Structure 1
Amino acid sequence: MAIAELTLSSKNYSSWSLRGWLLCRLAGLRVVEKTIALDDPENRAELLLLSPSVLVPRLTHEDASVWDTLAIAEYLHELYPNVGMYPADRIARAHCRSVSGEIHSGFANLRSALPMNLKVRHARFPIFSGAKPDIDRIETIWAECLGSYGGPWLFGEEPTVADAMFAPVAQRFLTYAVPLSATSAAYCQTINSWPLMREWIEDARNEPEEMAELEIEF
C-alpha cells in the first residue's frame, strides 16, 4: 500500500487526531505522521473547542487531501473495501455508519466537560449535569451494539470504524472515573487494551508538557 501523510495535533489532547490515526491503521495504510506545532492557532482552536471546523487530522494520499474523520473513513473504505473497516452485512454496516455519525456530530457537553487527557487518571471527578444525558446516550449505543453483535467490539469480533470513533470517549470515561454499567466498563477496557490504543497512549505520554494550561481553559 502507498505511503501517505497524516497531519496530527496533540496525541495527548486531540480526540480527532486519535480517530484519524486509528482509521488509517484499521485500513492498513502506512502513513508518515506530521505533527502541527502546539502553538499553531488552528491547533489550539481545535483543542479548546473554539472552532467548529478544523483541518486536523488531514490525510494526504495520492493527490487527495481529506480532513474530516468520517470523510477519511469513507475514503479508506473506498480504497480498501475488503479490510473490514465496516461490517460486511448491509444492515450492520448502516448501523455502524449511523452511530459513527452520531459521535462525530454530537455530544458537545461531554466534549467540554471531559476533555481528553491521556496522561492523567482521576479517582473521582465531578461531572457537569449537562454531560450526563450524553453519557447515558453513549451507554445506550454501546449496549445495543454489544448486545446485537456479540462483542467484544461494537460490531462483533473485530474493530471497525465505530470503535475508532468511540475510542476517545472510552478513554475519557477512564480518565475521569465515570460511573458506568458493567457492559460499558468492559468495553472501555477492550478499547484500553487495544494494541493500537496502547501504542498511541505511549506516544501521548512522551509528548512534551507544553499545553498544561488547556485543562484550565476548557
Structure 2
Amino acid sequence: MSRPVLTISSKNYSSWSLRGWLLCQLAGIEVEEQPIALDDAANRAELLLLAPSVLVPRLTEGDVSVWDTLAIAEYLAERNPEAGMLPKDKAARAHCRSISGEIHSGFYNLRSALPMNLKARHTNFKVFAGAQPDIDRVQTIWQECLTRWGGPFLYGARPTIADAMYAPVATRFITYNVPLNPAAKAYCATILDWAPMQDWITAAKAEPEELAELEVEF
C-alpha cells in the first residue's frame, strides 16, 4: 500500500508546511513529501506574505484529500486515535482545540512582523509595536498551559496538536530574539529539542536559497 502524500512548501519559510508535517509525525505515519515548485505563483505569494495558499499543507491518502491544517489534525486524530494527538482529559481536549483554533485564525500582526526563517538569527531586531499584543497573548497561553498541565509540552509530558500548531511561533521568537518570560523561553527550548523539529530544521538549513526576494521582507 502506498504511503500518504503530504504536499509542502519551503521548509525554511513555510510555517503551515511545518505544522502539517509535525501533525503527521505526531500521528506516527510515514508520508511521502511532495514539494510544490517554488516558482508556483500561489506558493510564492504565500511565502512573500502576499496571500494565503490552499495548496499547502495537503494530505492525500487514497481518495481522501485534506488541505486545511486543523482539518488535517482532526483527520489524523481520528485515523490514529492511539497516537494521543489530543489530551485524554475532556477539559484539556477542549482547551487544546481552542488555542489551536486561535493560532490558526489569528495573530496576523505577529505573522507579518516575524516571518518564519529557520536559517536566520537577528540579535537586534526591532519588533513592530503592533505585534506586541500578539506576542503577549502567545506567552499568556503558554504560561497558562504549562502551569495547569505541568509541561514541558503544553499539555504535559507528550506533545499534542497544539504543540504542532505553536512550534513555528517558537522558531520565530528565537529567530528574532524576542524578549520572553522564563516559561516561554523554556517552552521554546523544548520545541527546538523535539526530535521531529530537529529533523525539519536540518532539512531547512540544507534547502537552497531560491527565494532571494524574501530576504527583503526580513
Q: TM-score range by the shorter chain?
A: over 0.9
Distance across 1 between alignment mates of 2:217 and 2:201: 23
Give the match for residue 88 of structure 2.
88
Amino acid at match of 1:157: A
CA RMSD in angstroms comes to: 1.2
Distance across 2 between alignment mates of 1:212 and 1:113: 18
Give the match for residue 15 of structure 2.
15
Alignment check: 8 A CA contact 2:42 2:53 kept: no
Distance across 2 between alignment mates of 1:15 and 1:120: 14
Change (3 A) 1:34 1:193: same
| Deviation for aligned residue 1:52 | 3.6
Residue-by-residue CA offset, 1:128-160 (whole Å, 9 max, x unaligned): 000000000000000000000000000000000
SS of the residue corresponding to residue 60 of structure 1 reads: strand
Alignment check: 8 A CA contact 1:117 1:175 kept: yes
Alignment check: 8 A CA contact 2:146 2:155 kept: yes
Matches within 5 A, 1:42-191: 42-191=42-191
Aligned residues: 218
Distance across 1 between alignment mates of 2:155 and 2:99: 11
Distance across 1 between alignment mates of 2:30 and 2:49: 29
| Deviation for aligned residue 1:51 | 2.1
Distance across 1 between alignment mates of 2:212 and 2:94: 40
| Deviation for aligned residue 1:118 | 0.2
Taking structure 2 as the reference length, the TM-score comes to: 0.97
Quick one: percent identity of the two aligned structures?
69
| Deviation for aligned residue 1:50 | 2.1
Taking structure 1 as the reference length, the TM-score comes to: 0.97
Gaps of 5+ in 2: none
SS of the residue corresponding to residue 82 of structure 2 reads: coil
Distance across 1 between alignment mates of 2:75 and 2:28: 13
